[in-house]
Amino acid sequence: MGPNPNKESALARVSIVNYNGDQVYDSYVKPVEQVTDWRTHVSGIAPKHMTHARSLEEVQNEVSRILKDRVLVGHAIRNDLDALLLSHPRRDIRDTARHPAYRKLAGGSSPKLKLLVSELLGFDIQTGEHSSIEDARACMMLFRRDKPAFEREHTKMWPTQSTDASGSQDVAEAPRKTPKKKKKKKKKH
């Protein structure tokens, strides 16, 4: 969709679902760049969608407010955050593209969401025009399916208290060393 559609893409839609897959946010975004090819057959985005699109700044503010102090689940989520020009604490991200068990399915590389959904959930996504809502729901279904494994991996990287995507708190404490008592030195007279 960007100035050079073979090399660049522009942000045109942002969709967020909650832990249960219910839509929380969905907005078209007015591209900052000139659009030379909408690639509607792939992107699902057409010029008509821009009639009610919001500015990037407005979408950034709304998404930032929604994500504040929450666990973010997504697929290759860094790409989405980069497109939004936003950051999110790494400890609060669960990425289905980086999950070790899922990477094994792709021979150690980053698996395609479509492959994960087909292999692990038993249905097909992305069969027609792209839908960011469909992708968000698929990511959340994968996360819910393997939540204990995601949280075990998370605990290895961040051995402290965490909040999961459902909002409940899991306490995973790092092993604590028992403090050694200091020996009192005897005063010499």
Q: What is the pLDDT of residues 76-125, one digit of tens each?
A: 999 999 999 999 999 999 999 999 999 998 898 999 999 999 999 999 99
Is the CB of residue 45 less than 8 Å from the CB of residue 131?
no
C-alpha closest to that of 156 among 84, 95, 91: 91
Question: What pLDDT does 167 receive?
Answer: 53
Q: What is the pTM of this model?
A: 0.78
In a domain, 18, yes or no: yes
Statement: residue 2 has pLDDT above 60:
no
51-67 pLDDT tens trace = 999 999 999 999 999 99
Dihedral angle computed from the Cα positions of residues 147, 153, 157 and 158, in that order, rounded to the nearest 10 degrees: 30
CATH no. for residue 137?
A: 3.30.420.10
**If pLDDT is split at 50, 70 and 90, which confidence band does 40 have?**
confident
pLDDT value at residue 130? 85
In a domain, 26, yes or no: yes
Residue of higher predicted confidence among 130 and 72: 72
168 lies in some domain? no
**Is-contact 85 56, C-beta < 8 A?**
yes
pLDDT value at position 144?
97
Q: Is residue 78 included in any domain, yes or no?
A: yes
Residue 82 lies in a domain: yes
Q: What is the mean pLDDT of the chain?
A: 84
The number of folded domains in the chain is 1
In a domain, 134, yes or no: yes
Residue range of the domain that includes 69: 13-157
* Residue 179 located in a structural domain: no
Q: What angle do CA 158, 159, 161 make, to 5 degrees?
A: 95
